[in-house]
Amino acid sequence: MADYVEIGMPTPRVDGVAKVTGAARYVADQPIPGALSGALVHSTRSHARIVEIDTAEARALPGVHAVITGEDVGHYLYGRMIKDIPVLARGVVRYSGERVAAVAAETEEIARHAADLIEVTYEELPAVLDLDAALAPDAPVLHPDLNSYPGMRPLDEPSNAYRWTVDNRGDLDAGFAEADIIVEGVYETQRHHQAYLEPHASVVSFEDGRAHVWTNTKAPQNIRDDLAATVGISRDEIVLHHSHIGGDFGGKGTPMDLAVCYFLAQAAGRPVRMVADYIEEFMAGMPRHSTRTRLRTGVMRDGTIRAHHVQFFVNSGAYAGYKPAGVIGGAPRAAGPYHIPNTRIEAVHVYTNIVPGGHMRAPGSPQAVFALESHLDEVAGRLGMDPFEFRMRNLIDDGEETAWGQHFEHVRVKETLEAAADAAGYAEPRAPLVGRGIAIGDHGSGGGIGNAEVALEPGGRVVLGTAIFDQGSGTHTTLQQVVAEELRAPLHRIELQVWDTDGTVDDSGIGGSRASRVNTNVAYQAAQDARRKLVQLVAERLGEPEAAITLDGDEIRVEGREEVLRWPELLVEWEERVVGRAYIEDREPVRVTGFVAQVAEVEVDPETGELRVLGLTTAHDVGRVLNPVGHQGQINGGVVQGLGYALMEELAIEDGRVTTLSFGDYKIPTSFDIPELRTVLLESEDGVGPYAIKGIGETPNVPVAAAIANAVADAVGVRIADLPLTSEKVYRALADEASRSSRADAPESTE
Amino acid sequence: MRLTVNGQPVETNAPPGQLLIDLLRADLGLTGTKEACSVGVCGACTVLLDGRMVASCLALAAQAEGADVVTVEGLADDERLDPIQEAFLERGGLQCGICTPGQLVAARSLLNANPAPSEDDAKRWMMGNLCRCTGYYQILEAIAAASQGEA
């Protein structure tokens, strides 16, 4: 192992003191003199024509400065890849909660009161509220003009199924034909809210001919560009300033109300601040998608898988705009890191008249992995094999490609599973009504664009410039560690400077476990560039060849000279500063992934269906860990978010309306809900970038639900194939099982 | 009305119906206290009112008349952090930081009431303070460390 002084050390957050003293400013805390408050009117219909919007009473209310509707903001559509979301609905609403009109007023109370005074007259249209309704042959088409949307792949006939992809490997029919046993299953997942505790917030203020923007985004350059495109101005006319971000989990890469805020500020001629309340977050945020996955798997009696067919149906909600690529990934993960020669993977994205889904921590993976890993236990059961043995038989080895045809480097999935099973005592005898379940996931480190600057200042300050807005995951701290490491300077001398969007031209920001692959690397390169330039400067000033100069922390030695120089003092003497810069544009496909294997142990009360998670073991193939405190924090938080997904969280919808509109109804885990957690880290020299690391932010939440579902099946023999795994579902499944077996046991009729 | 906030006397005209959180954040500029759920469920807005935890998003400003209010800004003693703040830093008890002011006030209140809480005591006491980042493990470790003087 390399000899590091900062890399691998438990390091407190660079923003920690500001956060524990209350000094850290978030968007809602920014002091903006003269700012008005914005408020929204949301649709109360799932699908309707807007006949009229009467804003007269709202406009007449004292203290109201602007009222805008879709007619005022024009036909602008926004979105990341597919642009299909109106800033404010125009002519038609497509989900209950859609933004219809907005008000800017002196106070939040006046703004909300004015919004209540706006009368919208609707003419109801037939709505499709779930996958079946949306896919029915005679279903009303939500977006008849979808072929005109920028970024949409044109369809021959407009359909709610706006993207249906099919990927074939091998010969699926031949694979099924040779299989001894074919097992089919259908698995459903619910909408899951990111539940960052800080609601979306935006401020727009026009000054010096530019729009100054504060908004809680982890991708400031992208959001600046999106806003420019959405409101029809050049991106140079916008500067987006830094604020702390109160949680993300995928949700803070979406502009949400930013464009509305822009148009309100423009109409009012005053700065406007919009802070969503949590009702709006649940009603009109962009949660994790609900899905239905159909799996069909052909196996030989010896346990080898020959054929596997995935149909991954994604309930997109009303718009495609804020999904990772107009669609979410995930479908391949329903085939998994298994050796399967013949596969067909279909992914179907379907418009429905409900709140649109967006990004959430490993988009698509928890859904697909819940389906696959539940299903594999069903297959193992049919074969009479232990689920662990069955997986070990089929998991890929290093050098083999996954069931979806991807080749990863340094695959250690079997070792990861074995480590989890060992640590959990998977094979040990179980008490009655106690079960253990295993599940596996992975998530690669994505590419993108990154920037960094490392400035050596006279006197010894080091200023680390970054375009990254740390949304909580700790990237700023790891960047600080990297620079401290490469300059051999103490952490406290590395001062962080977060740029506004004028600081650089393009930067992908946080997302897709990019920080590990791109940002760490770019900070490393900027530090190396600073070292190189320092050597150049010293060589030039002293009239020595560069090769004669060595740096060791602050000290500079020159071959053939006795004295030891120090750069902090030399830069003072020379009145110089040294600036290292780096830029990375890394668009290569993902080659390195981090595997996770988990074992859940549960106890089920057969009288009530209540299930208690006794323990969770999570094993990760991690490469090198940069900051053990932050790394463990990602694992802990991810696992508990997965626990909420597994057991309790569901953004419930009745008649198209979200009914879980507060944290009283939408329950996330509390300190009292967390099980005993064992973490196993498989460190290695294999990873990405100069320190051989792997992303950790996304994987821990991926397999939790499947591991728990498998543990329930192991404990009491019932399979819950739709999330969340509530006690009611377990109770009903046990009751159904009991009535089935009592019918089976009933004496045959003697008639 | 008069009250004490973080040890300082404050005189203010709280309009009828004003919430304590708005008095703190908007009128006094103490934006360390955060508003998240707005309905008293998540704990982000927790402050101490005469030593008792309250959700400042539900409490009326008028309820603080004559009272002693402590917010996250009042935990540190000048430049010296409270041991619970130190422990959160060292143990990774915070990530995004939005729930942290409420967590710290709640944890300080726990340690005032029970200087040596068991893990179960801490889990129960902190149940009303939601955190989406940490999964609570490192918050509980921080509380244990602070109670044992290990911060």
Domain boundaries, chain B: 2-74, 83-147
Segment A456-475 mean pLDDT: 97
The torsion angles phi and psi of B127, rounded to 5 degrees, stand at -60, -30
Residue A751 pLDDT exceeds 90: no
Residue A415 pLDDT exceeds 80: yes
* CA dihedral (B95, B98, B101, B103) positive or negative: negative
Residue in chain A nearest B128 by alpha carbon: A670
Percent share of chain A, pLDDT over 70? 99
**Same fold for the pair A16-23+447-586 and A419-431+594-751:** yes
Residue in chain B nearest A23 by alpha carbon: B32
Instruction: Please tell me the predicted confidence (pLDDT) of residue A589.
Output: 87
Question: With contact defined as beta carbons under 8 Å apart, do A438 and A707 qualify?
Answer: yes
Residue A275 pLDDT exceeds 60: yes
Rounded-to-integer distance, Cα A706 and Cα A133, Å: 28
Q: Distance (Å) from the C-alpha of residue A596 to the closest C-alpha of chain B?
A: 18
ipTM above 0.85, yes or no: yes
CATH class of A32-125+194-284: alpha beta
Q: Is A590 helix (H, G, I), strand (E, B) or coil?
A: coil
Instruction: Please tell me the predicted confidence (pLDDT) of residue A721.
Output: 98
Segment B123-138 mean pLDDT: 98
Query: At which residue do the structure tokens 């900062």 appear?
Result: A6
Test A630 with B92 for CB contact under 8 angstroms: yes
Contact list in A for residue B29 (CB cut-off 8 A) is 31
CATH class of B2-74: alpha beta
Mean pLDDT, chain B, as a whole number?
A: 96
Percent share of chain A, pLDDT over 90? 94
Q: Does A277 touch chain B (CB under 8 A)?
A: yes
Test B97 with A24 for CB contact under 8 angstroms: yes
Two tokens, residue A40? 């929204």
Instruction: Please tell me the predicted confidence (pLDDT) of residue A750.
Output: 47
Residue A558 pLDDT exceeds 80: yes
Choose, out of B85, B132, B138, the residue to mutate when testing the contact with A (most A CBs < 10 Å): B132
H runs (alpha helix) in A88-148: 108-117, 131-135
CATH class of A127-192+287-407: alpha beta
% helix, strand, coil for chain A, step of 5: 30, 30, 40
**Taking Cα atoms as reference points, which of A224, A220, A671 lies closest to residue B43?**
A671
Question: With contact defined as beta carbons under 8 Å apart, do A294 and A315 qualify?
Answer: no
Segment A140-157 mean pLDDT: 96
Segment B34-41 mean pLDDT: 96
| A352-388 confidence digits (pLDDT tens) | 999 999 999 999 999 999 999 999 999 999 999 999 9
Instruction: Please tell me the predicted confidence (pLDDT) of residue A743.
Output: 80
> What is the model's pTM?
0.97
Q: Does A148 touch chain B (CB under 8 A)?
A: no
Instruction: Please tell me the predicted confidence (pLDDT) of residue A2.
Output: 66
Q: Distance (Å) from the C-alpha of residue B108 to the closest C-alpha of chain A?
A: 12
In this prediction, residue A519 has a pLDDT band, given cuts at 50, 70 and 90, of very high
Rounded-to-integer distance, Cα A486 and Cα A527, Å: 6
Domain covering A419-431+594-751, topology: Aldehyde Oxidoreductase; domain 4 (3.30.365)
Distances (CA, A) of A597 to A77, A111, A340, A624: 41, 50, 19, 18
Instruction: Please tell me the predicted confidence (pLDDT) of residue A402.
Output: 97
Interface size between A and B, measured as CB pairs under 8 A:
168
Test A20 with B88 for CB contact under 8 angstroms: yes
Domain covering A16-23+447-586, topology: Aldehyde Oxidoreductase; domain 4 (3.30.365)
**Taking Cα atoms as reference points, which of A212, A60, A187, A51 lies closest to residue A124?**
A51
Question: With contact defined as beta carbons under 8 Å apart, do A326 and A291 qualify?
Answer: no
- Helices A258-268 and A220-231: crossing angle, nearest 10°? 50
For the stretch A637-669, what's the b/e string if a residue is b when 16 or more beta carbons lie within 10 angstroms of its beta carbon?
A: bbbbbbbbbbbebbbebeebbbebbbbeebbbb
Superfamily the domain B83-147 falls into: [2Fe-2S]-binding domain (1.10.150.120)
Q: Containing H/E element for A478?
A: helix A475-487
Segment A560-583 mean pLDDT: 97
Residue A468 pLDDT exceeds 50: yes
Q: B16 or A2: which carries more pLDDT confidence?
A: B16
In this prediction, residue A747 has a pLDDT band, given cuts at 50, 70 and 90, of low
Rounded-to-integer distance, Cα A321 and Cα A731, Å: 39
Mean pLDDT, chain A, as a whole number?
A: 96
Residue B131 is which amino acid? C
Q: Which of A18, A22, A199 is the closest to B36 by Cβ?
A: A199
Contact list in B for residue A633 (CB cut-off 8 A) is 92, 95, 133-134, 138
Sheet with A161-169, side-by-side order of all strands: A161-169, A342-351, A305-317, A290-299, A181-189
In this prediction, residue A241 has a pLDDT band, given cuts at 50, 70 and 90, of very high
Rounded-to-integer distance, Cα A212 and Cα A35, Å: 12
Instruction: Please tell me the predicted confidence (pLDDT) of residue A484.
Output: 98
Segment A626-649 mean pLDDT: 98
Domains of chain A, by residue range, sit at 16-23+447-586, 32-125+194-284, 127-192+287-407, 419-431+594-751
Test B124 with A21 for CB contact under 8 angstroms: no
- Count of residues in chain A: 751
Q: Does A676 touch chain B (CB under 8 A)?
A: no
Interface of A with B in 172-211 (CB under 8 A): 194-199
* CA dihedral (A377, A643, A633, B143) positive or negative: negative
Contact list in A for residue B126 (CB cut-off 8 A) is 670-671
